[in-house]
Amino acid sequence: MDEETIAAALALAEEYDEIYAIVGRHPNSAEGFGDADIEPIARAARHPKAVAIGETGLDYFRDYAPREDQALAFQAHMALARELEMPLVIHTRAAEDDTLAALEAGAEDVTVVMHCFSMPDRLEQCVERGYMCSFAGNVTYQKAADLQDAATRVPDHLLLVETDAPFLTPEPLRGKPNTPANVEHTARRVAELRGVSYEELEALVERNAARVFGW
């Protein structure tokens, strides 16, 4: 999310074979982003355990950073992903139109991962463009009917699951701090929604992740 957390992520990736890193500047931390700020991200992206660029995108809900700075950072991340031929992981909140417009203009031939997929009304557009749709713990919530419907309609080859830890703790652990291990609860709910076994869903997501992130 920033230089400090990039360093921590790469250190963990170096220590554990099963951990990989995604490197970038989160839009909530994009205030003051300039041309030089992409350089440390580019250096980090060349680490052998770095597998994608991000999170990047637009967040108009929090508005922690000026929208102009978010847009500049977003453009720089897209350019870097194109240059290095790496996947691009997207954070978008209350900014769907601008996010999708920016991706259409700047992410051609880039593998796009819609992190914490939260735009069920734009699912068809994402699928048409071949974006990976990654469902987080909120797909398990009782009131998330639209999100659950989207999880049933994503084509197999575009489906991922995640936790968004430490946020969006899935049922039945909601109210407790989230951890990556809780991805199993999300995956079990998505499997149930899609009418397949957990083992089938797990194998599908593992294949997709291996294809996208190259491990």
Number of domains in the chain: 1
Q: Which two tokens stand for residue 35?
A: 């041309």
Query: How many other β-carbons are positioned within 10 Å of the β-carbon of residue 155?
Result: 9
Is the distance from CB of 40 to CB of 3 less than 8 angstroms? yes
pLDDT for the residue numbered 63: 81
d(CA 194, CA 205): 13
CATH of the domain at 182: 3.20.20.140
Q: Which two tokens stand for residue 31?
A: 């205030």
Who contacts 192 (Cβ-Cβ below 8 Å, separation ≥6)?
none
Q: What is the strand order of the sheet 50-59 is part of? A: 21-23, 50-59, 88-93, 112-114, 132-135, 159-161
pLDDT for the residue numbered 151: 98
pLDDT for the residue numbered 112: 98
**Letter for the amino acid at 128?**
E
Write out the chain's pLDDT in tens, 215 residues. Answer: 888 999 999 999 999 999 999 999 999 999 999 999 999 999 999 999 999 999 999 999 988 999 999 999 999 999 999 999 999 999 999 999 999 999 999 999 999 999 999 999 999 999 999 999 999 999 999 999 999 999 999 999 999 999 999 999 999 999 999 999 999 999 999 999 999 999 999 999 999 999 999 98
This prediction has a pTM of: 0.96
DSSP structural state of residue 168? S
d(CA 45, CA 28): 20
pLDDT for the residue numbered 62: 87
Half-sphere exposure of 60 (CA within 13 A, CB side): 9
| Domain that includes residue 156, residue range | 3-213
pLDDT for the residue numbered 51: 98
- Residue found by looking up tokens 């809780």 in the block: 182
Q: Which two tokens stand for residue 106?
A: 């700047």
Residue 90: φ, ψ to 5°: -110, 130
